[in-house]
């Protein structure tokens, strides 16, 4: 039986960390018109959340980003939007220069149209603290994430990453790892379940790649509050189409 979050988040009309896990679909287009077309198509899938992977958009400047956020909000209405500008070190396409990334992240935090902003724990405690302060200034929800695209650390390490995110001020904590085998997937799921009992904020976890697909389908039973599903294109290895995920969930008791 799923254990809901002790302190779920209400974002617009959506509860993150409630009785049911949610489906988030990423927007990964490289150009403005394609992004709006992608959002229009994905809305027909009725996602619980959308994530704009802004690092996929070519030549993104802060001013352009703010205009696009406003356009997206008109289109998506009250669907909650996660803004992500992922660093290359954690599988993204944003500039490796931290100052340039922070410029975009700070601009997103100032916009009323991004509900949650994702930032990497690996950026360093000083940068995380600066982002946390800016998020508080604008009453913005902060998602602190940690990714490992090469392996799956031990269970205690993963639990500590969730706890670290909470202690550094995360409203939502996310851990994504790459499994070498099925045992690694079990490690991720077990760590998520243990973290649910230690950190009272919403959690997101996933074991990536084809081996980890089971974590995207059943992670909610182990304490993951959101799973990322593929819309028109995947933003990470192992994402399955949102229609397929929903079909599987409908078969479950």
Name the more confident of 245 and 81: 81
How are beta strands 9-11 and 141-148 bridged, if at all? unpaired
- Of the chain, the percentage scoring pLDDT greater than 70 comes to 96
- For 51, the enclosing helix (H) or strand (E) is strand 49-53
Residue 2 is encoded by which pair of tokens? 């799923």
Place 250 in a pLDDT band, splitting at 50, 70 and 90.
Answer: confident
Q: How many domains does the chain fold into?
A: 1
Q: Which residues pair with 51 in a beta bridge?
A: 26, 82
Q: Give pLDDT tens digits for 34-82.
A: 999 999 999 999 999 999 999 999 998 999 999 999 999 999 999 999 9
Residue at 200 is within a domain: yes
Residue at 4 is within a domain: no
Residue at 179 is within a domain: yes
Of the residues 6, 138, 147, 161, only one is catalytic, namely 147
Of the residues 7, 166, 174, 198, only one is catalytic, namely 174
Neighbours of 87 (CB within 10 A): 20
Residue at 148 is within a domain: yes
Rounded distance between C-alpha atoms, residue 138 and residue 112, angstroms = 8
- For 241, the enclosing helix (H) or strand (E) is none
Residue 234's pLDDT is 63
- The four Cα atoms 147, 79, 218, 178 give a dihedral, to 10 degrees, of -20
Q: How far is CA 19 from the centre of its chain?
A: 19
- Of the chain, the percentage scoring pLDDT greater than 90 comes to 87
Residue 125 has pLDDT above 80, yes or no: yes
3-state DSSP helix/strand/coil percent for the chain, to nearest 5? 45, 20, 35
- On whether the CB atoms of residues 251 and 218 are closer than 8 A, the answer is no
Residue at 206 is within a domain: yes
H-type alpha helices, 51-124: 62-76, 98-110
Residue 130's pLDDT is 98
Rounded distance between C-alpha atoms, residue 6 and residue 251, angstroms = 27
Residue 138 a catalytic site member: no
Query: What is the extent of the structural domain holding 75?
Result: 10-238
Place 241 in a pLDDT band, splitting at 50, 70 and 90.
Answer: confident
Residue at 51 is within a domain: yes
Residue 198 a catalytic site member: no
Residue 24's pLDDT is 96
Q: Give pLDDT tens digits for 182-198.
A: 999 999 999 999 999 88
Residue 116, helix vs strand vs coil: strand
Q: Give pLDDT tens digits for 79-95.
A: 999 999 999 999 999 99
Residue 237 has pLDDT above 80, yes or no: no
* Mean pLDDT, the chain, whole residue set: 94
Give the single-character DSSP code of 55: G
pTM of the model: 0.95
For the domain that residue 80 is a member of, what is the CATH number?
3.20.20.70
Residue at 232 is within a domain: yes
Residue 127's pLDDT is 98
Residue at 42 is within a domain: yes
């Amino acid at each position: 039986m799923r254990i809901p979050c002790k302190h779920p988040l209400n974002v617009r009309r959506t509860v993150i960390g409630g009785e049911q896990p949610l489906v988030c679909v990423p927007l990964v287009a490289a150009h403005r018109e394609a992004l709006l077309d992608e959002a229009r198509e994905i809305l027909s899938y009725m996602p619980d959340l959308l994530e704009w992977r802004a690092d996929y958009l070519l030549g993104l400047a802060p001013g352009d980003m703010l205009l696009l956020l406003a356009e997206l909000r008109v289109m998506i209405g009250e669907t909650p939007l996660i803004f992500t500008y992922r660093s290359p070190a954690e599988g993204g396409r944003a500039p490796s220069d931290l100052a340039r990334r922070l410029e975009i992240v700070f601009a997103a935090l100032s916009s009323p149209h991004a509900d949650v902003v994702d930032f990497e724990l690996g950026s360093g405690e000083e940068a995380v603290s600066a982002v946390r302060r800016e998020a508080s200034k604008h009453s913005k929800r902060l998602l602190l994430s940690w990714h490992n695209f090469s392996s799956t650390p031990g269970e205690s390490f993963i639990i500590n990453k969730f706890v670290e995110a909470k202690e550094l001020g995360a409203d939502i904590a996310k851990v994504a790892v790459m499994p070498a085998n099925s045992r690694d997937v079990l490690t991720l799921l077990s760590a998520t379940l243990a973290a649910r009992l230690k950190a009272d904020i919403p959690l997101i976890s996933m074991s990536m790649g084809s081996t980890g697909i089971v974590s995207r389908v059943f992670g909610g039973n182990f304490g993951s509050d959101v799973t990322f599903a593929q819309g028109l294109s995947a933003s990470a290895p192992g994402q399955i189409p949102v229609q397929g995920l929903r079909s599987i969930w409908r078969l479950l008791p």
